[in-house]
Amino acid sequence: MSDYTVLADVGDSIVQLLWAEIQNDAQVNPLIDNQDRISLQSPFELRNNNAVRLSIYLYRIVEDPYTKNQYPVPGTGLKTRRPPLTLDLYYLVTPLVGAPREQQIVLGKTMQVLYDHAVLSGTDLAGSLAGSDIAIRVVLNPVTLEETTRVWHALEMSYRLSMCYAVRVAFVDSTLERFGPPVVEKTSTHGEVAHA
C-alpha cells in the first residue's frame, strides 16, 4: 500500500540511493560531500545556491496508461476499494557544479548509479515505501530536443547539461470504499448457471 506521500517518498528514495553510492566514490565525493548537496528543487530555484551540486527535479506526472483497468482491491470488512492511482514520474537530473568536466563527472556517476539500481525496492525505499514489497523502476527517458527545450523554457533558464528519467510505477491508494455484494451466481462459458 502507498500513501499519498509516495511522490515525495520516491524523490527521497532517489536522493538516499545517490548519496549512499556517491559518499564512497573518491572522485565524486569531493564535489558532493554530503546529502544536502543533492536537492529535489528545480535548477531555477537553485540558481543562486552554490551549496547544492545536483538537482533531481520532478517536472512531470502522468497516469500510467498500462494499469488503468485494474480490479477493485479488498478494503475493510466486506468493502472493496478503488484500485490505486498509478503514476509515472519524470525527473530532470541536472549537475550544478562549476566546470563542464565536473558536471560531466557528476552526471556520469548519477547515470551509473541509476543504471545499476534500475529497480528500487527494500532498503532502497524511503518514507511510506520503506519496508514495503513495492518495486519502482527507474529508466533513462531519452526526450527529444524539442521537449527538452520546452522544459528549460518553462524553467526560464538557458539549457544546461541534464538527463531525464522516468520512474514507473508509483501507486497512490484510494480511500474510497464501498460494499460489494457477494457473488451468488456464476454463469459458465456454456450458458449453464451455477449457484453458490
Average pLDDT, the chain: 85
pLDDT tens-digit series, residues 8-38 = 999 999 999 999 999 999 999 999 999 999 9
The pLDDT confidence band at residue 152, using thresholds 50, 70 and 90, is very high
The pLDDT confidence band at residue 164, using thresholds 50, 70 and 90, is very high
Predicted confidence at residue 196, as pLDDT, reads: 54
Whether pLDDT at 183 is above 70 = no
The three grid cell numbers given for residue 47, joined into one nine-digit string: 540558481
The pLDDT confidence band at residue 84, using thresholds 50, 70 and 90, is confident
DSSP alpha helix (H) spans, the chain: 6-22, 100-116, 145-154
Predicted confidence at residue 9, as pLDDT, reads: 92
Grid cell 456454456 — which residue?
A: 190
The three grid cell numbers given for residue 76, joined into one nine-digit string: 475493510
Burial class (CB in 10 A: 0-12, 13-18, 19+), 28: buried
Grid cell 476499494 — which residue?
A: 81
The three grid cell numbers given for residue 112, joined into one nine-digit string: 551509473
The SS3 assignment for 75 reads coil
Rounded Cα gap, residues 114 and 138, in angstroms: 7
Whether pLDDT at 68 is above 80 = no
Angle at 168 between CA 167 and CA 169, to 5 degrees: 130
pTM (two decimals): 0.81
Max mean pLDDT range (5-19, 56-70, 79-93, 176-190): 5-19
